Amino acid sequence: MKKTILTIALAFIWISFAKAVDPAYEAAMQKQIKAMKSIPNLETSQQVTNGFIRISEAKNEEWLPLYYAAYNQIIAAFRFEVDKDQYFNQALDLITKANQIAPENSEITALHGFAIMGKLSVDPASRGQEMSPKAMQLFGKAINLDRENPRAVTLMAQMELGMAQFFGSGPEKACGMARMGLDLFKKEEAKITDSYILPTWGKENAEAVLKSCE
């Protein structure tokens, strides 16, 4: 009887493990993440975004494909001559879907703030009063959800620097947060392997903030 119970228990463990590890999903994500790191033009950028969306449709319980699709739309809005509001709004729609899958997620919350910061950058004069506090609130929430998240800290540093420049104040707070972000990136780098598919971007952002401190 004990042997039968043990066999059944082991079978359930194996089924759970098999469901948790999906090599096809991980391989597809790794391929898209690699492609995302070398995007030469808007057409390629849209192909990469569409690739992530297709993965999300096949694995609708996973938040990462939606996250990366949103991130890629945000970067495209900053890099290319596009309707920036449209791209940032598309990113926000994808972030909303990702948040439904993984609520109270530090990475998704930080990305939400990044998209708001992007919309703010389109028209700082008229949007600053409404969107600056919202972005800051989201970055603060992301940090509280995971104090080891270097992207949340770095995006907060960028926001602090932008506000300091706008109001003509010193960048000391932004510089301190950027240094903290770089320290967190060092810790994160120790965890990264070839099969790592969680977000790792943002180190260059922290370095760019620190250049303003020299």
Number of domain units in the chain: 2
For residues 211 and 136, membership in a common domain is answered with: yes
Residue 16 counted as domain residue: no
Q: How confident is the model at residue 14 (pLDDT cuts 50, 70, 90)?
A: very low
- Give 113-171 pLDDT, tens digit per residue: 999 999 999 999 999 999 999 999 999 999 999 999 999 999 999 999 998 888 888 88
Whether 16 has a pLDDT exceeding 80, the answer reads no
For residues 93 and 113, membership in a common domain is answered with: no
Residue 7 counted as domain residue: no
Say what the pLDDT of residue 21 is: 62
65, 86, 103 - which closes a domain: 103
Structural domain range at position 84: 25-103
Q: How far out from the chain centre does Cα 96 lie?
A: 13
For residues 113 and 213, membership in a common domain is answered with: yes
Residue 154 counted as domain residue: yes
- Give 27-77 pLDDT, tens digit per residue: 999 999 999 999 999 999 999 999 999 999 999 999 999 999 999 999 999
- Alpha carbons 146 and 157: distance in angstroms, whole number: 16
Give residue 51's identity as a one-letter amino acid code: G
For residues 138 and 59, membership in a common domain is answered with: no
For residues 99 and 40, membership in a common domain is answered with: yes
Are 166 and 131 in contact, with CB atoms under 8 Å apart?
no
Residue 17 counted as domain residue: no
80, 103, 126 - which closes a domain: 103
Are 97 and 116 in contact, with CB atoms under 8 Å apart?
no
Residue 147 counted as domain residue: yes
Q: What is the CATH number of the domain that holds 127?
A: 1.25.40
For residues 50 and 138, membership in a common domain is answered with: no
For residues 113 and 212, membership in a common domain is answered with: yes
Say what the pLDDT of residue 214 is: 77
Instruction: Tell me the two tokens of residue 145.
Output: 């959800």
